[in-house]
Copies of this chain bind each other. A is one copy, B any other.
């Protein structure tokens, strides 16, 4: 499958590399084509790996991952050109965190009432935003079995049922998430609850000394 990954940070790179390993063709997008990190990544991962601008990556992908910094995501989408997202499934893994006031991080002011996931859907009305994977670290995103044999929870939300079903299947087949642990919370407004739990994750990461953990719901 042709997949575009917007963002060249640790999350974008981990996703892009795992997708190549799963046999997909991946284009990594950044602010401008030829970005050092994106070019180095593409050179390392063979013919199925390419890089370009945000617009190049969005145009290329049949499926898109948005893995940009939370605070610059809406700008990145505008740079990518909203038309390049038309009718596509867009997996939103971003977090609008604000570390400028120290620890614990806050949610950026502009996303406190209306989440980044919701604002992304609003900016791309003809795309199907599915928010997921944002509550865990990137190594765990791409292989659920890294923690407790995969026996822990992944939250997911979005307005389009068919898109959520496809994303769930994709996560199961590519990243080893068991269907029973993929918790569909509801429409994209639920992105609010998923973004809100990430500051606690950051604090626990500091306490536990590792990002390789997750929550399991117990009864």
Interface residues of A, Cβ cutoff 8 Å to B: 104, 106-107, 112-113, 147-148, 151-152, 155, 183, 185-186, 189-190, 192-194, 196-197, 199-200, 203-204, 207-208, 210, 212-219
In the complex the two chains form, what is the Cα distance from A217 to B213 in whole Å? Answer: 7
A204 touches B217 (CB 8 A): yes
Residues of B contacting A193 in the complex (Cβ-Cβ under 8 angstroms): 104, 199-200, 203
> What is the minimal beta-carbon distance from A161 to any residue of chain B, in angstroms?
15
B196 touches A200 (CB 8 A): yes
Q: Among the listed B148, B185, B192, which residue makes an inter-chain contact with A218, where contact means beta carbons less than 8 Å apart?
A: B148
In the complex the two chains form, what is the Cα distance from A192 to B112 in whole Å? Answer: 13
Q: Interface SS of chain A: helix, strand, loop or mixed?
A: mixed
Can you add 8 more A-B contacts, CB < 8 Å, to A151-B218, A215-B215?
A147-B219, A148-B218, A155-B200, A186-B203, A192-B199, A197-B197, A197-B200, A213-B219
Residues of B contacting A183 in the complex (Cβ-Cβ under 8 angstroms): 204, 207
In the complex the two chains form, what is the Cα distance from A203 to B197 in whole Å? Answer: 13
Q: Among the listed B197, B203, B213, which residue makes an inter-chain contact with A185, where contact means beta carbons less than 8 Å apart?
A: B203
A214 with B207, Cβ < 8 A, contacts A104-B190, A192-B104 known? no
A215 touches B213 (CB 8 A): no
Q: Among the listed B113, B185, B218, which residue makes an inter-chain contact with A207, where contact means beta carbons less than 8 Å apart?
A: B185
Residues of B contacting A217 in the complex (Cβ-Cβ under 8 angstroms): 204, 208, 213-216
A147 touches B218 (CB 8 A): yes
Residues of B contacting A148 in the complex (Cβ-Cβ under 8 angstroms): 218-219
Residues of B contacting A152 in the complex (Cβ-Cβ under 8 angstroms): 218
CB-CB nearest in chain B for A135: B200
In the complex the two chains form, what is the Cα distance from A128 to B104 in whole Å? Answer: 20
Residues of B contacting A107 in the complex (Cβ-Cβ under 8 angstroms): 112, 196
B196 touches A199 (CB 8 A): yes
